[in-house]
Protein backbone atom coordinates (compact mmCIF):
# COMPACT_ATOMS: atom_id res chain seq x y z
CA UNK A 1 0.00 0.00 0.00
CA UNK A 2 1.33 3.43 -0.99
CA UNK A 3 0.38 6.98 -0.07
CA UNK A 4 -0.57 8.64 -3.38
CA UNK A 5 -1.38 12.28 -4.11
CA UNK A 6 -3.87 12.52 -7.00
CA UNK A 7 -4.16 15.91 -8.75
CA UNK A 8 -7.05 16.16 -11.25
CA UNK A 9 -9.57 18.98 -11.74
CA UNK A 10 -12.33 16.96 -13.43
CA UNK A 11 -14.49 15.58 -10.63
CA UNK A 12 -15.67 12.47 -12.46
CA UNK A 13 -12.15 11.42 -13.49
CA UNK A 14 -10.71 12.20 -10.06
CA UNK A 15 -13.34 10.15 -8.25
CA UNK A 16 -13.00 7.23 -10.68
CA UNK A 17 -9.20 7.12 -10.43
CA UNK A 18 -9.35 7.46 -6.66
CA UNK A 19 -11.69 4.48 -6.56
CA UNK A 20 -9.38 2.37 -8.77
CA UNK A 21 -6.41 3.10 -6.52
CA UNK A 22 -8.30 2.43 -3.31
CA UNK A 23 -9.40 -0.94 -4.70
CA UNK A 24 -5.69 -1.65 -5.19
CA UNK A 25 -5.31 -0.86 -1.45
CA UNK A 26 -3.50 2.45 -1.88
CA UNK A 27 -4.12 5.41 0.39
CA UNK A 28 -5.21 8.35 -1.78
CA UNK A 29 -5.37 12.08 -1.10
CA UNK A 30 -7.04 13.90 -3.98
CA UNK A 31 -6.70 17.53 -5.06
CA UNK A 32 -8.32 19.63 -7.80
CA UNK A 33 -5.75 22.46 -7.91
CA UNK A 34 -1.99 22.94 -7.74
CA UNK A 35 -2.42 25.30 -4.79
CA UNK A 36 -4.05 22.54 -2.74
CA UNK A 37 -1.39 19.93 -3.47
CA UNK A 38 1.43 22.42 -2.85
CA UNK A 39 -0.01 23.10 0.60
CA UNK A 40 -0.21 19.37 1.33
CA UNK A 41 3.39 18.82 0.17
CA UNK A 42 4.60 21.33 2.75
CA UNK A 43 3.35 18.98 5.46
CA UNK A 44 3.98 15.51 4.07
CA UNK A 45 5.61 13.96 1.01
CA UNK A 46 3.70 11.06 -0.59
CA UNK A 47 5.12 7.86 -2.06
CA UNK A 48 3.94 8.94 -5.51
CA UNK A 49 2.22 11.85 -7.28
CA UNK A 50 -0.30 11.18 -10.06
CA UNK A 51 -1.33 14.36 -11.83
CA UNK A 52 -2.97 15.94 -14.84
CA UNK A 53 -1.01 18.40 -16.97
CA UNK A 54 -3.59 21.16 -17.49
CA UNK A 55 -5.03 22.40 -14.20
CA UNK A 56 -7.20 25.45 -13.45
CA UNK A 57 -4.45 27.34 -11.61
CA UNK A 58 -1.37 26.30 -13.54
CA UNK A 59 0.57 23.93 -15.75
CA UNK A 60 1.52 20.52 -14.36
CA UNK A 61 4.74 20.48 -16.40
CA UNK A 62 5.96 23.69 -14.76
CA UNK A 63 4.97 22.49 -11.30
CA UNK A 64 6.76 19.16 -11.79
CA UNK A 65 9.91 20.84 -13.13
CA UNK A 66 10.20 22.98 -10.02
CA UNK A 67 9.21 20.22 -7.60
CA UNK A 68 11.48 17.50 -9.03
CA UNK A 69 14.47 19.84 -8.98
CA UNK A 70 14.50 19.42 -5.18
CA UNK A 71 12.66 16.15 -4.52
CA UNK A 72 12.88 12.53 -5.67
CA UNK A 73 9.21 11.61 -5.21
CA UNK A 74 8.04 9.45 -8.16
CA UNK A 75 5.63 11.32 -10.43
CA UNK A 76 3.30 10.11 -13.19
CA UNK A 77 1.46 12.38 -15.59
CA UNK A 78 -2.00 11.40 -16.81
CA UNK A 79 -3.24 13.63 -19.60
CA UNK A 80 -5.41 13.90 -22.66
CA UNK A 81 -2.42 15.45 -24.44
CA UNK A 82 -1.24 12.46 -26.44
CA UNK A 83 1.38 13.87 -28.81
CA UNK A 84 4.89 12.46 -28.70
CA UNK A 85 6.26 15.92 -27.91
CA UNK A 86 4.08 16.13 -24.79
CA UNK A 87 5.18 12.69 -23.60
CA UNK A 88 8.83 13.53 -24.23
CA UNK A 89 8.44 16.83 -22.37
CA UNK A 90 7.06 14.93 -19.39
CA UNK A 91 10.03 12.58 -19.30
CA UNK A 92 12.55 15.38 -19.88
CA UNK A 93 11.15 17.15 -16.83
CA UNK A 94 11.81 14.01 -14.78
CA UNK A 95 8.48 12.20 -14.65
CA UNK A 96 8.65 8.44 -14.19
CA UNK A 97 5.76 7.72 -16.55
CA UNK A 98 3.16 9.39 -18.76
CA UNK A 99 -0.22 7.77 -19.36
CA UNK A 100 -2.70 9.09 -21.92
CA UNK A 101 -6.42 9.48 -21.21
CA UNK A 102 -8.59 7.53 -21.61
CA UNK A 103 -6.75 4.63 -19.99
CA UNK A 104 -7.79 1.31 -18.51
CA UNK A 105 -7.91 1.09 -14.71
CA UNK A 106 -5.80 -2.08 -14.82
CA UNK A 107 -3.07 -0.43 -16.88
CA UNK A 108 -2.98 2.56 -14.53
CA UNK A 109 -2.61 0.34 -11.46
CA UNK A 110 0.12 -1.73 -13.15
CA UNK A 111 2.03 1.37 -14.22
CA UNK A 112 1.89 2.74 -10.67
CA UNK A 113 3.04 -0.59 -9.25
CA UNK A 114 6.00 -0.63 -11.65
CA UNK A 115 7.08 2.91 -10.69
CA UNK A 116 6.73 2.20 -6.97
CA UNK A 117 8.72 -1.01 -7.32
CA UNK A 118 11.68 0.62 -8.99
CA UNK A 119 11.66 3.56 -6.56
CA UNK A 120 11.89 1.32 -3.50
CA UNK A 121 15.21 1.06 -1.69
CA UNK A 122 16.94 -2.19 -2.73
CA UNK A 123 18.39 -2.81 0.76
CA UNK A 124 19.31 -6.42 0.02
CA UNK A 125 22.76 -5.46 -1.34
CA UNK A 126 24.88 -3.31 0.97
CA UNK A 127 27.96 -3.16 -1.28
CA UNK A 128 29.14 0.20 -2.60
CA UNK A 129 30.81 0.14 -5.99
CA UNK A 130 33.10 2.73 -7.55
CA UNK A 131 33.94 3.69 -11.14
CA UNK A 132 36.28 6.23 -12.69
CA UNK A 133 36.26 7.95 -16.08
CA UNK A 134 38.58 10.74 -17.23
CA UNK A 135 39.45 11.70 -13.68
CA UNK A 136 35.86 11.57 -12.43
CA UNK A 137 34.67 9.17 -9.73
CA UNK A 138 31.19 7.70 -9.51
CA UNK A 139 30.04 5.69 -6.47
CA UNK A 140 26.82 3.70 -6.36
CA UNK A 141 25.45 2.32 -3.11
CA UNK A 142 22.51 0.06 -3.83
CA UNK A 143 21.66 -0.42 -0.15
CA UNK A 144 20.97 3.25 0.51
CA UNK A 145 19.80 4.04 -3.04
CA UNK A 146 22.48 6.68 -3.62
CA UNK A 147 24.78 7.68 -6.48
CA UNK A 148 27.62 10.11 -5.77
CA UNK A 149 29.65 11.87 -8.48
CA UNK A 150 32.88 13.53 -7.36
CA UNK A 151 31.52 13.83 -3.83
CA UNK A 152 28.13 15.26 -4.86
CA UNK A 153 24.95 13.21 -4.39
CA UNK A 154 23.03 12.93 -7.66
CA UNK A 155 19.30 13.74 -7.60
CA UNK A 156 17.93 10.96 -9.79
CA UNK A 157 14.37 9.99 -10.58
CA UNK A 158 13.35 6.40 -9.87
CA UNK A 159 13.72 5.51 -13.55
CA UNK A 160 17.14 7.17 -13.86
CA UNK A 161 18.39 5.35 -10.76
CA UNK A 162 17.22 2.00 -12.07
CA UNK A 163 18.80 2.56 -15.50
CA UNK A 164 22.12 3.70 -14.02
CA UNK A 165 22.19 0.69 -11.71
CA UNK A 166 21.37 -1.70 -14.56
CA UNK A 167 23.92 -0.22 -16.98
CA UNK A 168 26.70 -0.12 -14.40
CA UNK A 169 25.94 -3.68 -13.28
CA UNK A 170 26.46 -4.72 -16.90
CA UNK A 171 29.57 -2.57 -17.28
CA UNK A 172 31.35 -3.25 -20.58
CA UNK A 173 28.36 -5.09 -22.06
CA UNK A 174 25.91 -3.53 -24.49
CA UNK A 175 22.25 -3.51 -23.45
CA UNK A 176 19.37 -2.87 -25.83
CA UNK A 177 16.57 -0.36 -25.45
CA UNK A 178 14.19 -3.30 -25.17
CA UNK A 179 16.20 -4.70 -22.24
CA UNK A 180 16.10 -1.34 -20.49
CA UNK A 181 12.34 -1.09 -21.03
CA UNK A 182 11.82 -4.58 -19.64
CA UNK A 183 14.33 -4.60 -16.77
CA UNK A 184 14.23 -0.97 -15.66
CA UNK A 185 10.92 0.53 -16.71
CA UNK A 186 9.02 -2.75 -16.46
CA UNK A 187 6.71 -2.21 -19.37
CA UNK A 188 7.04 -2.70 -23.10
CA UNK A 189 4.49 -0.63 -24.95
CA UNK A 190 4.82 0.19 -28.63
CA UNK A 191 6.55 3.48 -29.35
CA UNK A 192 8.41 3.72 -26.04
CA UNK A 193 11.96 3.45 -27.43
CA UNK A 194 12.08 7.25 -27.37
CA UNK A 195 11.25 7.09 -23.67
CA UNK A 196 14.50 5.20 -23.03
CA UNK A 197 16.45 7.75 -25.07
CA UNK A 198 14.94 10.59 -23.04
CA UNK A 199 15.84 8.98 -19.71
CA UNK A 200 19.39 8.40 -20.99
CA UNK A 201 19.63 12.03 -22.08
CA UNK A 202 18.54 13.24 -18.64
CA UNK A 203 20.90 10.83 -16.91
CA UNK A 204 23.86 11.94 -19.01
CA UNK A 205 23.11 15.54 -18.10
CA UNK A 206 23.21 14.73 -14.39
CA UNK A 207 26.42 12.71 -14.80
CA UNK A 208 27.95 15.87 -16.38
CA UNK A 209 30.17 13.80 -18.68
CA UNK A 210 28.09 12.15 -21.45
CA UNK A 211 30.85 9.60 -22.02
CA UNK A 212 29.76 7.65 -18.93
CA UNK A 213 27.09 6.10 -21.18
CA UNK A 214 28.10 5.18 -24.73
CA UNK A 215 25.58 4.91 -27.55
CA UNK A 216 26.03 1.76 -29.61
CA UNK A 217 24.39 2.71 -32.87
CA UNK A 218 21.38 0.63 -33.95
CA UNK A 219 21.63 -1.46 -30.80
CA UNK A 220 21.60 0.27 -27.42
CA UNK A 221 23.88 1.59 -24.70
CA UNK A 222 27.00 0.62 -22.75
CA UNK A 223 28.34 1.92 -19.42
CA UNK A 224 31.92 3.11 -19.95
CA UNK A 225 33.20 3.65 -16.42
CA UNK A 226 36.25 1.68 -15.25
CA UNK A 227 35.38 -0.27 -12.11
CA UNK A 228 37.67 0.12 -9.11
CA UNK A 229 38.25 -2.96 -6.96
pLDDT per position as a tens digit, 131-152: 999 999 999 887 667 889 998 8
pLDDT per position as a tens digit, 69-100: 878 789 999 998 888 888 889 998 888 899 99
Q: Are 43 and 110 in contact (CB under 8 A)?
A: no
C-alpha 158/C-alpha 155 separation (Å) is 10
C-alpha 122/C-alpha 145 separation (Å) is 7
C-alpha 184/C-alpha 158 separation (Å) is 9
3-119: CATH topology: Rossmann fold (3.40.50)
Q: Where are the domains of the chain?
A: 3-119, 128-228
The class that CATH gives domain 128-228 is: mainly alpha
pLDDT per position as a tens digit, 197-212: 899 999 999 999 999 9
pLDDT per position as a tens digit, 101-132: 888 888 999 999 988 887 764 443 445 788 99
86, exposed or middle or buried, with CB in 10 Å at 0-12, 13-18, 19+? middle
Non-local CB neighbours of 224 within 8 Å, separated by 6+ positions? 133, 211, 212, 213, 214
pTM over 0.75: no
Predicted pLDDT at 121: 47
Amino acid sequence: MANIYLVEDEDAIREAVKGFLQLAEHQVSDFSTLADVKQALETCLPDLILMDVMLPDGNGFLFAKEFLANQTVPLIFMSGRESESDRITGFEIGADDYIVKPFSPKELVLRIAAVLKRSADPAHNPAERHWTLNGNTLSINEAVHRAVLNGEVLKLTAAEWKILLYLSSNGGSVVTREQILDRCLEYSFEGYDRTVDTHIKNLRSKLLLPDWIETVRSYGYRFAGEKNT
